[in-house]
Structures are given as C-alpha cells and as structure tokens.
Amino acid sequence: MGDFKHKHSLGQNFLKDKKVLTNIIDSVDVQEDDLIIEIGPGQGALTRYLKLFHANLICFEIDIRVKKYLDNFVDDKTKIIYQDFMKVDLDKVLKDIKYNKLYVISNLPYYITTPIIEKVSNANVDVEAMVLMVQNEVALRLSAKPGTKDYGAITVLLNYLYDVERLFFVSKYAFDPVPKVDSAVIKLSKKKNKLVVEKYDLFVKLVRDSFRMKRKNIRNNLKMYNLDVIKSVLSDYNLDLSVRAEEIPLECYVDIVNELSK
C-alpha cells in the first residue's frame, strides 16, 4: 500500500482478498462481550473485519511504522499495543479486562507460528478458539491423521489441547506482496471431549521421544521407558512395539502416559 516498505523478516504479507477476510470472520461466533486478540494487525486488513463483531479487541504489532494505518481503529473497545507479541505478559494484559470468551484471530507472521501457538496455549488463559492463517504445509501437519506422513509430534500435542480443523486453502496471490508459499486457515477450538493425562510434562516428553528418529520404531525410540507397560497398552489398540510413532493415535499416547504414571 502506498510507499510502505514491507519487511520480509517480519512476515509482512498483507491480506488483500475480501472473500478470504469474510470467510475468516464467518468461521467464529464472537459476541460483543467477548475479547479478540489479534497478533500482527499490519495495515489493518483483518482488524477492519474483526471490528464488525463490536467485541473487545486487543492487537499486538511489533512494527510501529504501521501506526498511521491503525490509529483510526482505536476506540474504547479497541487497543493497539506496539510490542513484540513474544515478549508480552499475556496474563498481566488480560487480568484487568472483563470479557466472556477469548478468541485469538490472526494472519500470523509465519516465522513464529509455533512459538505463538505455544505461548497462547501455555498462558494461564482459557481460549475458546483460535483462527489462524498459517502456511498450508503447517496447516496440513497440524490437522493430519495418524498413519499419514504429515502426522508428527506437534500434531499429537496440539490435538490433545484443541479440536483442530483445517478450514480452507488460501492462494499466495491473496497477499501483497505475494509470498513464496500458499496458506490455509486453521481453527483450534477448545476441546469438547478432552482426554486427561496424569502427567502433562511426561506426555510432552514421551510424544517428542516417540518421533525422535523418524525411521525407527517405538521399541527403539522409547527404549528408556518401561517397554512392557507400553507393549501392553499398544496391544489394546492392536499394535505392537514394531509400530512407528506416526501410526499411534492420540488416545493411545494418553493411555501409555497414564499407565506409565501409575
């Protein structure tokens, strides 16, 4: 837009396709007493649409150069904070705001996709849903099913926390400047039927260890754990120790961790 010099290092590809913007806001049911967090409003393409909800809105933007595009959006329900989102103390910012449900809606800066999702997930806040524009490849990975090549440790860990849906594909030509990769919008909703692991840290470690050596089976990747216990849980799923991590469903990982925690 105008003479603005986009910073590639900050993932500054601005969304210009109105249909995509409409589809993003149609994917959530935000009410006036809810709160939306937008990460990286840029020149406000998505912010303009988010304002249609008349909800509370807080945007975090690292690049102060866009202030002139965003000033018009500020009012008693909309705040723009010029700060690196990764350095924001979310609990502190949210502590003084009254709201019903919390949504995170963002066309993410791709260089910190996973750190942002992790930061929100680890914060002491209850997120109703996140609707996020990510690289298509990442969207496929996060929503992959067991037994497919995209199914990885991050898929299992994220699906434990959220119901993950890949909503729709977005061509790279929907952005200005046009990036190298295509995108997709994903929705992470608060889990409806959440499984519970006794020891979350052990769950994270075991899932990461399971996928450590891609070509190795569970017997090799998990040899530092009690393999008798793991074998017995796997047999409930008609699996054995020769299985590879990408074939094991979330429920089975949860059962393994809970049996190991006994």
In the bound state with ligand SAM, the residue whose beta carbon lies nearer, of 28 and 39, is 39
Tell me the C-alpha to C-alpha distance, in Å, between residue 63 and each of 3, 7, 69, 85. 16, 9, 12, 11
Binding site for ligand SAM (CB under 6 A): 10-15, 39-42, 45-46, 60-63, 84-86, 107, 109, 112
Residue 59: CB minimum distance to ligand SAM, A: 8
In whole angstroms, how far apart are CA 1 and each of 62, 68, 239? 18, 12, 55
Closest distance between ligand SAM and the C-beta of residue 65, in Å? 9
Q: Minimum distance from CB of 37 to ligand SAM (Å)?
A: 11
Residue closer to ligand SAM, measured from CB, 169 or 237: 169
* Least Å from the CB of residue 15 to ligand SAM: 4
User: What tokens appear for 82 in the block?
Assistant: 């010029």
- Smallest distance from the beta carbon of 78 to ligand SAM, in angstroms? 14
Dihedral over Cα of 171, 173, 174, 177: its sign: positive
Choice between 60 and 162, CB closer to ligand SAM: 60
**Based on CB atoms, which residue is closest to ligand SAM, 34 or 61?**
61
Place of tokens 């754990």: 225
CA atoms within 13 A on the CB side of 47: 26
| Nearer Cβ to ligand SAM (86/229) | 86
Q: Say how far apart CA 74 and CA 90 lie, in whole Å.
A: 20
Please compute, for residue 44, the number of CA atoms within 13 A of its CA located in the half-sphere on the CB side.
19
Indicate the DSSP class of residue 75: B
